[in-house]
Amino acid sequence: MAGITSYGAYVPLYRINRMTIYQALGWLNPASLLPGEKSVANYDEDSLTMAVASAMDCLTGIEREKIDGLFFATTTTPYKERQNAGIIATALDLPPEIRTSDFTTSIKAGTGALISAYDAVTSGSANNVMVCAADCRLGKPGGFQEEIYGDGGAALLLGNSGVIASVEGTYSVSYDFVDNWRADTDRYNRSWEDRWIRDEGYGKFISEAISGLLKKYNLEPKDFAKVVYPCLYVRAHADIGKRLGFEPGQIQDHMFTAIGHTGTAYPLMILVAALEDAKPGDRILVASYGNGSDALCLQVTDEIEKVRDRRGIKGYLASKKDLGSYEKYTTFREILDIDTGGRGEEVATTQMSTLWRERRMILGLCGMKCKRCGTPQYPPQDICANPKCGAINEMEYYRFSDKKGHLFTYTGDVLAFSPSPPAIYGTVDFEGGGRWLFDLNDCDLDSLEVGMPVEMSFRRKYHDVSRGVHVYYWKATPVRA
């Protein structure tokens, strides 16, 4: 039996109320406004960092050495030529003997990666494949897409041992249907007529995939506890389920008014929300949308009770902060070009050869642990930092990224440039030993206290536009509830 063995999700801390956007643009007609808010990635977050965050949630209690595949689904890859899944695998400190692949250019790439991972497991070519999906899409300022696009990620682990939801069947349809698109030279997404997308796209393709699945496996709507599918039109979302014969209580909440449309991650994030409340024996039907649709039938097992110890959708939805400013949002997304000042100019450049040699230290946040006395230290060194030990060449790699810590000291720098000033740095004492200086984010200077708990978050250190380089490292953030 093959299927999902673990799940995780990530929703950025910040939200922006859609009314904040409308007020900034002078749109005050209540009849034409969308309700709710959407999630906003911080200035140092993108689809890759959110994929890492959701994978960290999914890996709770999982031995990383057993992962032998990682698939990354997104339409907003930081790199067009450099495998993004490989960066994620390195950041997670996964073994190099794994299969990695990027799935992209369609918002149904998340379910495409999920089905491919299932096929790999059932064929025996892999035992445990991680699927990460995340998107950070841009709509043109003042346009409909800016209102609807939210940021977020989801991760699912596929395997054949400890299965929490077995995959009972799949069905797919594929069409070259042009509704939203972005060419290589475009920064913002483009779209065709709204009613065309709603009626000819969402209204038909999701229905066709779900109906095809039901017919293929001789199932009926009443056989399912929940049905999961995305739709950026709130009323149309309910209508799709009603036309297919599902009762309102069977249709999983779309979360559109809470996070927006998160692209490739959207159906998987809704699925994670469904799994959080699922009971053994429940059937869940999940379908995606984008140039057609994929549909999967899942059967929840007794193992579901063993994976409740993670933040998931519920935890991240409950932990949020209003961004409060449309101008700040446009700054985060590099839409509004602000002056960095003389102190904001980047002087150093990343040497790719050094990044390769030190990849476990930089991307994986790995230090060393003394085999003789057990003292951990960062960065890696061949000599034990414990003065009572002093062992030489008796070290093994030790991962700090999944360790909690406490803030030993901190400072706010009003002179250094930051898209969200002031720049904040702090020294972190890790539980179990080890200490290092990190940038702090997702916090205000006034909210910090010496001794407060923090955790590590994979973030973009800087974006060197002139060289086309995204530089990633780890930052410390206050522990989210």
* In the chain, where the domains are located: 3-332, 403-481
**What's residue 346's pLDDT?**
54
Task: Cis check for the bond before 248: say yes or no (omega within 30 of 0).
Answer: no
Give kind and range of the element (H or E) at residue 271: helix 266-277
Chain segment 273-321, per-residue pLDDT in tens: 999 999 999 999 999 999 999 999 999 999 999 999 999 999 999 999 9
Element (H, E) at 409: strand 405-413
* pLDDT at residue 463 in the model: 84
> Which residues contact residue 215 at a Cβ distance below 8 angstroms, ignoring those fewer than 6 apart?
none
Say if residues 272 and 154 touch (Cβ distance below 8 Å): yes
What is the structure's pLDDT at 344? 61
Quote the radius of gyration of the chain (alpha carbons, Å): 23
State whether CATH 3.60.110.10 applies to domain 403-481. Answer: no
Torsion of CA 182, 188, 193, 195, to 10 degrees: 100
Q: Cα separations (Å) of 460 from 11, 204, 344, 441? A: 16, 39, 16, 11
CB neighbours of residue 319 within 10 Å: 16
Pairing of strands 69-73, 128-135: parallel
The CA-based diameter of the chain, rounded to the nearest angstrom, is 73
Give CATH for domain 3-332: 3.40.47.10
Q: Is-contact 463 470, C-beta < 8 A?
A: yes
Distance CA 31, CA 25 (A): 16
Closest CA to 117 of 102, 131, 103: 131
At 379-413, the pLDDT tens digits run 999 999 999 998 999 999 999 999 999 999 999 99
3-state secondary structure (DSSP) of residue 74: coil
Regarding pTM above 0.85, the answer is: yes
CA dihedral 439, 84, 163, 65 (to 10 degrees): -70
E strand or H helix at 469, and its extent? strand 469-478
pLDDT at 466: 78
Residues of the chain where predicted confidence (pLDDT) is lower than 70: 28-32, 342-348
Residue 461, Cβ density class (10 Å: 0-12 exposed, 13-18 middle, ≥19 buried): middle
Closest by Cα among 471, 470, 437 to 454? 437
